[in-house]
Structure 1
Amino acid sequence: MSRPLEGKLGIITGASRGIGAAIAQNLASKGCNLVINYTSNSSTSLAALLAKQLESSYSIRTLCVQADVGTPDGVRKLVAATKEAFTSPTGTFQIDIIVNNAGIAQNAFIPNVTMQQYEETYRVNVLGPLLLVQAAQPYLPKDRSGRIVNLSSVSSSTGFVGQSVYGGTKAALEAMTRTWARELAENCTVNAINPGPVEGPMYASNSPEFLAGIRGWIMHTPLMAPRPGVDSPEVVEAAKADGSGGRPAYTYEVAGIAGMLCTPDAAWCTGQVVCANGGMLMLH
């Protein structure tokens, strides 16, 4: 098996479940040692189980760190724990890959948006990635071999109703992606990916009204058509039952695109928002 990331070190935020866990699986399969970050106590056992599985399957090293990356103290804890665990016997320490995956979404129409929703969502989705990159910058490679991948969303471009705040955070993250690509050009490439609907609790929590509102996009997304005999019967039936008309992405499909951007093959790609949405957006 090809292991193009053998011996490298990656930090993935929000990595205990969903897309984050799938990205961890992808990078581990490529030989990358991993720091699995998570926030809530309820994720502790999930993170530990994932770490054990990745170490056993791929012979890598892992570290689980519970820290709120939307706070300066949380980021300091994350980077300090990483440095303590992965500094070599000769005293060298390098962070090769950062995947800013942690994020929250709280839909609300304009009159119902609260200050708490605004502050929480921007703190996690925008401030968190900035704080982590700030803290990690001194330890990034000096030869452009590093990789930063930011998890954006089609919501930055589609104008989904109810997502004034969430969509705004993802647009901000894309703007920072372009700035970081210039400022960190001698250290690493910096790219974003923009998933659309993805399997998991976040997608399942959408209201029928929200799903009806995005049905037009889903129906015109080339790769979201459910495939009887390929996709499970449950997936095919769910696409009919929820009224969306199509299936969400599988987490491994999004993870594959993130993993690709972390390899040496992606060395000439930076400052981009790379499609991870089955063709829902073809202009971005």
Structure 2
Amino acid sequence: MTRPLEGKLGIVTGSSRGIGAAIAENLASKGCQLVLNYTSSSSTDAANALAGRLSSAHGIRAVAVQADVGTPEGAASLIESARQHFTDAAGRFQIDILVNNAGIARNNLLPRVTVEDFEATYRVNVLGPLLVTQAAEPHLPRDRSGRIVNISSVSSQAGFVTQSVYGGTKAALEAMTRTWARELAERATVNAVNPGPVEGPMYAANPPEFLNDIHGWVLRTPLMRAREGVDPDDVVRDARASGGRPAYTREVAGIVGMLCGEEAGWCTGQVVCANGGMIMQ
């Protein structure tokens, strides 16, 4: 059976774990060849293991590439590594899918936000996607078949406490999404998705002020209601205290994968819900 992304090449930044790894899994299951990007040497083993597992499980080729995408050199190195690995016998190299997923969060109340927090977060969350998309642009398709998906957050709109900096970076990413959708219209669609709480260490590391502030939002998010007999017991148990469960990474990945398909070709410049209804537009 032909898979919908057979023969295409995708690059997913920040994909050694979490949402990025789940996105890579989703794309690989549809036949997409993959470049898995990671930044820290501590992620090398995880990234290589994921590349090996996806290659074996889905019959695709996946390679892990270490690069700090928040620097011009790192972004250029990522695309050059992709070119070296995936140029075909006729000398053709094309990037069909780009998912700008890499991101960090340094949450703090306004009096405790530092310039270093600001610069580090904007470098990774805003400058990084800009630099990677710039470096990828010469290699995008020229028939509108390309797909760029930027991973934003409900924090761009909700005004959560402690997220002066993080929320601002995601609002900036959404603004760039709309601009790129116009500038790259003959090359690729460009959309963003906006997860709310998602399982994993980033959510677990949030300070008490943040968790207290979002409690009401969680209670009122339709799909965050945990279900006994469907969700794992520990998720149901934790939801009794938190008000609801976070998204599973595969649920966010499914929405990204949907936007990467041919059927999504008439959708561009949008921020697509990936938050269970926490934000309704």
TM category (shorter chain) comes to over 0.9
Task: Give the Cα–Cα distance (whole angstroms) in 2 for the partners of residues 43 and 199 of structure 1.
Answer: 19
3-state DSSP class of the match of 1:105? coil
3-state DSSP class of the match of 2:206? coil
Correspondent of 1:255 among 239, 244, 253: 253
Question: How many angstroms does 1:139 deviate by?
Answer: 0.4
Q: What runs of 5+ residues in structure 1 fail to find an aligned partner?
A: none
Question: How many angstroms does 1:159 deviate by?
Answer: 0.1
* Residue in structure 1 matched with residue 99 of structure 2 by the alignment: 99
* Residue in structure 2 matched with residue 42 of structure 1 by the alignment: 42
CA 1:139–1:113 in 2, change beyond 3 Å: closer, same or farther? same
Question: How many angstroms does 1:2 deviate by?
Answer: 5.2
Give the number of aligned pairs. 281
3-state DSSP class of the match of 1:162? coil
The answer to whether the 8 Å contact 1:214/1:244 transfers is no
* Residue in structure 2 matched with residue 153 of structure 1 by the alignment: 153
- Residues 79-98 of structure 1 mapped to structure 2, 5 A cutoff: 79-98=79-98
Matched, 1:3 2:8: no
Question: How many angstroms does 1:239 deviate by?
Answer: 1.4
- Residues 10-21 of structure 1 mapped to structure 2, 5 A cutoff: 10-21=10-21
* Residue in structure 1 matched with residue 78 of structure 2 by the alignment: 78
Question: How many angstroms does 1:209 deviate by?
Answer: 2.9
Question: How many angstroms does 1:212 deviate by?
Answer: 1.4
CA 1:127–1:229 in 2, change beyond 3 Å: closer, same or farther? same
* Residue in structure 1 matched with residue 137 of structure 2 by the alignment: 137
Task: Give the Cα–Cα distance (whole angstroms) in 2 for the partners of residues 203 and 247 of structure 1.
Answer: 11
Task: Give the Cα–Cα distance (whole angstroms) in 1 for the partners of residues 208 and 121 of structure 2.
Answer: 23
Q: CA RMSD in A?
A: 0.8
Task: Give the Cα–Cα distance (whole angstroms) in 2 for the partners of residues 217 and 163 of structure 1.
Answer: 15
CA 1:2–1:210 in 2, change beyond 3 Å: closer, same or farther? farther
Q: Which amino acid aligns with 1:197?
A: P
* Residue in structure 2 matched with residue 168 of structure 1 by the alignment: 168
Task: Give the Cα–Cα distance (whole angstroms) in 2 for the partners of residues 3 and 179 of structure 1.
Answer: 31
> For residues 235-259 of structure 1, what are the alpha-carbon distances to aligned partners after superposition, in whole Å with 9 as ceiling and x for unaligned?
011112xx32100000000000000
> For residues 121-179 of structure 1, what are the alpha-carbon distances to aligned partners after superposition, in whole Å with 9 as ceiling and x for unaligned?
00000000000111111100000000000000000000000100000000000000000
Task: Give the Cα–Cα distance (whole angstroms) in 2 for the partners of residues 130 and 211 of structure 1.
Answer: 30
The answer to whether the 8 Å contact 2:152/2:195 transfers is yes
* Residue in structure 2 matched with residue 67 of structure 1 by the alignment: 67
Matched, 1:265 2:263: yes
* Residue in structure 2 matched with residue 277 of structure 1 by the alignment: 275
The answer to whether the 8 Å contact 1:96/1:140 transfers is yes
* Residue in structure 1 matched with residue 227 of structure 2 by the alignment: 227
Task: Give the Cα–Cα distance (whole angstroms) in 2 for the partners of residues 238 and 204 of structure 1.
Answer: 12
* Residue in structure 2 matched with residue 128 of structure 1 by the alignment: 128
Q: Which runs of 4+ in 1 moved over 4 A?
A: none
3-state DSSP class of the match of 1:248? coil
3-state DSSP class of the match of 2:192? strand
Q: Which amino acid aligns with 2:264?
A: A
Q: Which amino acid aligns with 1:176?
A: M
Task: Give the Cα–Cα distance (whole angstroms) in 2 for the partners of residues 254 and 186 of structure 1.
Answer: 27
TM-score (norm 1): 0.98
Question: How many angstroms does 1:210 deviate by?
Answer: 1.7
Does 195-204 or 208-217 show the bigger shift? Answer: 208-217
CA 1:2–1:221 in 2, change beyond 3 Å: closer, same or farther? farther
Q: Which amino acid aligns with 1:170?
A: K
Task: Give the Cα–Cα distance (whole angstroms) in 2 for the partners of residues 164 and 275 of structure 1.
Answer: 22
3-state DSSP class of the match of 2:53? helix
Q: What runs of 5+ residues in structure 2 fail to find an aligned partner?
A: none
3-state DSSP class of the match of 2:242? coil
Q: Which amino acid aligns with 1:24?
A: A
Task: Give the Cα–Cα distance (whole angstroms) in 2 for the partners of residues 200 and 184 of structure 1.
Answer: 33
Identity of aligned residues (%): 70
Task: Give the Cα–Cα distance (whole angstroms) in 1 for the partners of residues 270 and 99 of structure 2.
Answer: 15
Task: Give the Cα–Cα distance (whole angstroms) in 1 for the partners of residues 84 and 41 of structure 2.
Answer: 22
